[in-house]
Chains A and B, each alone.
Chain A
Amino acid sequence: MAHVVLKELVKTYGAFKAVNDVSLTVNDGEFVALVGPSGCGKTTTLNLIAGLLPITSGEISIGDRVVNDLDPKDRDIAMVFQNYALYPQKSVYANLAFPLQMRKLPRDEIDRKVKEAAKVLDMTHLLERKPRELSGGQQQRVALGRALVRDPAVFLMDEPLSNLDAKLRVQMRSEIKRFHQDLKATIVYVTHDQLEAVTMADKMAVMNGGFLQQYDSPAQVFAHPVNMFVASFIGSPAMSLIPLETSTSDGNAVLSGAEGWRMDLSSLNARKVQRATTSKVVLGARHSAIRLHKSAVAGAIPARAYTVEPTGDVTFVQAMLSGAIVNISVPPDIAVFPDEQIWLEFDQDRMHLFDGATEMALNAD
Chain B
Amino acid sequence: MTAVTNIAVPKAPKSRKPIDGWRWVGRIFLVLMLLYTAVPMIWMLLTSIKSGFAAMQFPPQWWPDEPTLASYQKLLDPNNSVGQDFLRFFWNSLFVSTATTVLSVAVAVPAAYAFSRFSFPGRRFLFFSVLLRNMFPAVIFLVPLFILMRLLGLVNTHGSLILTYLTFGLPLAIWLLRGFYDNIPIQLEQAARIDGATRFQAFVLIVMPLSVPGIIATAIYSFIGAWNEYIFAYTFLNKNEQLTLPVGIQRFFSENTTDFPGLMAASFMMSVPVVVLFLLLQRYFVRALTEGAVKH
Chain A interface residues toward B at CB < 8 A: 50, 52, 71-73, 75, 77-79, 81-83, 85, 87-89, 98-99, 102-103, 146, 150
Contact = CB atoms under 8 A, between A and B. Distances in A.
B38 interface: no
Interface of B: 185, 187-188, 190-198, 201, 206, 209-210
B195 A73 contact: yes
B190 A50 contact: yes
15 contacts: A52-B193, A71-B198, A72-B190, A72-B194, A75-B194, A78-B194, A79-B190, A79-B194, A81-B187, A81-B190, A85-B187, A88-B188, A89-B209, A102-B192, A146-B191
Which of B193, B194, B210 has its CB near the most chain A CB atoms (within 10 A)? Answer: B194
B210 A98 contact: no
A73 B191 CA distance: 10
B210 A89 contact: yes
Given A72-B190, A102-B195, A102-B201, 7 more contacts: A75-B194, A81-B190, A81-B191, A87-B192, A102-B197, A146-B191, A146-B195
Nearest to A75: B194
Nearest to A98: B195
Contacts of B192: 87, 98, 102
Secondary structure dominating the interface of B: helix
Which of A77, A82, A88 has its CB near the most chain B CB atoms (within 10 A)? Answer: A88
A87 B202 CA distance: 11
A77 B194 contact: yes
B123 to A, nearest CB: 15
B211 to A, nearest CB: 11
B237 to A, nearest CB: 43
B196 A102 contact: yes
Contacts of A83: 185, 187
A89 B209 CA distance: 8
Contacts of A102: 192, 195-197, 201
B119 to A, nearest CB: 10
Contacts of B198: 71, 73
A88 B193 contact: no
A85 B197 contact: no
A145 B197 CA distance: 18
B190 A99 contact: no
